[in-house]
């Protein structure tokens, strides 16, 4: 078994003008997805991230605070899952709830360092 990370990229919910009803329905889909993965025993960890960004970059360590409204896409959260291949994770990622909002799932394999 290998470990993969699914990284969720897209607009922040705050900037999409979703109604309370939308938010509740969307949350229901996230529940269902999480449930399914938990039951299958494949999910090991996951988090949602707040939209606040602090960037430090360059040799002079320049600090900038960025809000989600300033960037079109933002990493909103991630899950790490156990699977045997990219194809298997791709299958899992079919249930990601936010494709209709222009969301993207990026699948990355967690690197293992052999001795």
State the residues that interact with another protein by CB under 8 A: 13-14, 17-24, 26-28, 30-32, 34-35, 46, 48, 77
Residue 79 phi, psi dihedral angles, 5° rounding: -130, 140
Q: Give how far Cα 82 sits from Cα of 47, 86, 100, 111, Å.
A: 16, 11, 26, 13
Nearer to another protein, 19 or 94 (CB): 19
Min dist CB 63 to another protein, Å, is 25
> Which one, 16 or 66, has the nearer CB to another protein?
16
Six-digit token string for 14: 């705050």
Q: Which is nearer to another protein, 49 or 66 (CB)?
A: 49
């Amino acid at each position: 078994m290998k470990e993969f990370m699914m990284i969720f990229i897209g607009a922040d919910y705050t900037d999409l003008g979703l109604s309370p009803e939308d938010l509740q329905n969307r949350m229901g889909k996230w529940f269902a997805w999480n449930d399914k993965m938990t039951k299958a025993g494949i999910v090991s960890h996951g988090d949602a991230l707040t939209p606040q960004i602090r960037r430090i970059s360059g040799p002079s360590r320049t600090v900038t605070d960025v809000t989600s409204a300033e960037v079109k896409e933002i990493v909103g959260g991630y899950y790490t899952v156990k699977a045997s291949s990219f194809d298997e994770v791709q299958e899992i990622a079919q249930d990601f709830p936010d494709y209709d909002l222009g969301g993207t799932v990026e699948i990355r394999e967690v690197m293992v360092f052999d001795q």
